[in-house]
Amino acid sequence: MAIQTLHLSPADKKHLVSLLGKGSLPSKTFKRATALLELDRGRTLASIAATLNVTYKTVASWRDGYLTHGLAMLTDRPRPGRPTIIDGLQRARITALACSDPPAGYSQWSLRLLADKAVELELVAEISHNHVSKILKKTISNRT
């Protein structure tokens, strides 16, 4: 049978207790810290999993993460993925452009007009009308 308990170093135990005493802590970090402290107290993986409403495997992976990475396992590692191309300020400027008066000869902004104007005003290097649509959908604007 696999190792059920864990023995924390006094420094790690002190850090976890102070972390839990802060009051405002992300849920994931709280659960991981609590699980480590409970394992140190001798509770089983199954009982901790039931208490924290997670699976047995999750608690086991937290334990294994502590054994390999130490307290660094309390936070998530950076996730892979494409970095954002258009930041929040650019999104806000595109939204503001959509809320402004349309160009002469048009009664309202179209998504293609907004995309072209955003590039023309150098708000972004390039953008498609579909991306403009996604940006506006995430706001309260009534453009889409």
- Rounded-to-integer distance, Cα 17 and Cα 38, Å: 11
Task: Please tell me the predicted confidence (pLDDT) of residue 113.
Answer: 96
CA distance 98 to 90: 12
Percent of the chain predicted with pLDDT > 90: 67
Give the pLDDT confidence score for residue 139 in this predicted structure.
73
Residue in the structure block whose two tokens are 């294994």: 64
pLDDT one-digit tens code per residue, 93-111: 999 999 999 999 999 999 9
The answer to whether 143 and 136 are in contact (CB under 8 A) is yes
Contacts of 91 (CB under 8 A, 6+ apart): 135, 138
Statement: the pTM of the whole predicted model exceeds 0.95: no
pLDDT at 126: 93
**What is the per-residue pLDDT across 33-66, written as a single tens digit (0 to 9) for each?**
999 999 999 999 999 999 999 999 999 999 999 9
State the pLDDT confidence band at 21, using cuts at 50, 70 and 90: confident
Residue 2 banded pLDDT, cuts 50, 70, 90:
low
Query: What pLDDT is attached to residue 1?
Result: 46
